[in-house]
Amino acid sequence: MKLNQDFAMSVETILYLKNKKTTEYTQSAEIAKTLDFSVGYLQKVMQTLGRHGILECKRGRIGGVKIRARVVTLLDLWNATCGGLDFTDPDLAIMEKPLKAFGDAMSKVVIYSKAKDAR
């Protein structure tokens, strides 16, 4: 299965911010350089995560991003970057059970928790 590039970048970004263990804003250029991402494309992904309440984005010279959500699961990132698992096309009715199982499994994988670091 080939993962969506936005989803993969969002997972790596959240893990980077989690491991940095700071409450300060981190600039996108620093994240992009460390993770070998295009700064422009990473900013687009981070804006998407910001619109979904996962990241807090601050513009300007002292701006950057930090994790806003108290808990971030793989399903949260999937929904933000891939548009969710809503396959209502009648031709895909056979996929309803597998997609539900996939969504349930992803919702259990916590990659960030403000209360404690869950893996």
Average pLDDT over the chain reads: 87
Please check whether residue 80 is in contact with residue 54, taking contact to mean a CB–CB distance below 8 angstroms. Answer: yes
Give the start-to-end residue ranges of the domains of the chain.
5-113
Instruction: Say what the pLDDT of residue 99 is.
Output: 81
Q: Which of the residues in the chain have pLDDT under 70?
A: 1-3, 85-92, 115-119
Instruction: Say what the pLDDT of residue 92 is.
Output: 67
5-113 adopts what CATH topology? Answer: Arc Repressor Mutant, subunit A (1.10.10)
Instruction: Say what the pLDDT of residue 1 is.
Output: 38
Collapse the DSSP code of 69 into the 3-class scheme (helix H, G, I; strand E, B; otherwise coil) and give the result: coil
Question: How far, in whole angstroms, is CA 83 from its chain's centroid?
Answer: 12
Per the listing, tokens 């701006």 go with: 63
Instruction: Say what the pLDDT of residue 3 is.
Output: 61
- Global pTM reads 0.84
Query: How far is 78 from 6, CA to CA, in rounded Å?
Result: 9
Instruction: Say what the pLDDT of residue 25 is.
Output: 94
Please check whether residue 82 is in contact with residue 4, taking contact to mean a CB–CB distance below 8 angstroms. Answer: yes
